[in-house]
Structure 1
Amino acid sequence: MQKLFASLMTVSVSAMLLSACGGNSNQTAAPTTPAASDTQAASAPAAALPSKIVVGLDDNFPPMGFRNDKNELVGFDIDMARAAGAKMGIEMEFKPIDWSAKESELKSKRIDMLWNGLTITEERKQNILFSKPYMENHQIIVVAAGSPIKVKTDLNGKVVGVQDGSSAVPAIEADAVAKSFKELKKYGDNVTALMDLGVKRIDAVVVDEVVGRYYVAKKPTEYVVLEDNFGTEEYGVGMRLEDAALQAKLQEALDNMKADGTSAKIANQWFGKDIVK
């Protein structure tokens, strides 16, 4: 009898202990709600940024990007790209390309960015993701000193030079005066076109203002810039359409460079004034 009583007491105490530790066995445990930080961690990670960016450029496009006397790549856009890379913590590598094949170079991933006086156009937006405009530019008309050409309509019957693949080509072709040209002669680069102008093989060159004025300033007695032009355009940095994360990071760097004076300092070194938007 004492053994039975002891056994009953043991069972009773065990039941009390289980009740105290586990609560009501008929209750269903409430589901655990994840914290906000857990939810964010479970979401898809942001696209990883590269450790190095290959920048495609035309290395004969002073003062934006060109080779100096030591064959080093220098220029306004190169300095801007290096400063942006430093802000982003990403190495910038510069790769000269055939500028007329720039979109295929970008799409094939042989380069990651186009940063060399690249004009933003609606047509290019179909294949290129652009930064915000960082500079305004005009397609100016350069003639030889003493030329009878004074206004755009004077190009009637003349041979006009232009860089193949540049934004000057569609700008000219969109203007009615282009139909009056004797020839629109396309060159591999602006430098060769301006050299031909200097020896009077052609009558005029339509070129990006930043390039044209750079050369006119070097040879002010040989070239003249007309007041007429073939329109205003904006420069931007080009990336692949899918590189939205890179675009956002680059734009943050460009905005910071504008705010802290970095871009103004670079512009003053190359143009004598701050021309960055």
Structure 2
Amino acid sequence: MKRVRTAVFPVAGLGTRILPATKAMPKEMLTIVDRPLIQYAVEEALEAGVERFVFVTGRGKSALVDHFDIAYELETVMTSRGKSLDRLGGTRFQPGALVSVRQQEPLGLGHAVWCAREIVGDEPFAVLLPDDLMVGKPNCLAQMVEAYEKVGGNIVCAQDVPRERTQSYGIVTPGASDGPLTEVRGLVEKPQPEDAPSTLGVVGRYILQPEVMAILGRIGKGSGGEIQLTDGMAELIGTQPFHAFTFAGERHDCGDAGGFVVANLALALGRADLAPRVRAFLASRD
């Protein structure tokens, strides 16, 4: 079984759910407390053992790559003033560890993943959607990698979703369950509540085998007129092991204004330096 060394970050989206904040700034650069969403996702992948990082970007997204570059002026000023560079966190890469490819047309998540095919090659790879902020110890991808090393094949992160919201998710047709792992017998993209085979929805983390790339390269447009990753993954079911993994932790949908605000509050309340001030403010509004 090959190790998961590469992670793909589809970051070409327009962020229309949270306009006007994303009119001129990538939604993945929106900050939760004191770091952008993309940094949370990258640090999650680093902690899970990922070594190669592929950003699938679009026009106007150069800030995402710049964030992980060396900032000579900033670092020089910080050092001269006696400030620790630790405050920058995991924002510096060795040359070649981070690669950017361009999704030239907004043709969907499946197409964005396919754009990374030459870099992924013939190895399994992870996909992380940065606007799905996962909070847990060990982190979400680390938990999935541990499960992958036991069962192999393909693994999607999943959670139970309200039936009235199934049309916002890829939904699993479930088979046998073993702890956090559920056999995937089918996948359908954004079904209406009355048509959904379950309420187990796929959320922003995946470990996939490279064979999905050839499928994504030939399938047509699906739900919403886009090339859907769910449709590509569905063709692997029955030919390779396929499981849904229920993450032990919290998920925040930060592509939505309400979820973005809640994520800021939740993470601030988890920090000893910020929690007292936030709690005092919330108490004053009761």
Task: State the TM-score, normalized to the length of structure 2.
Answer: 0.27
Q: Whose helix fraction is larger, Structure 1's or Structure 2's?
A: 1
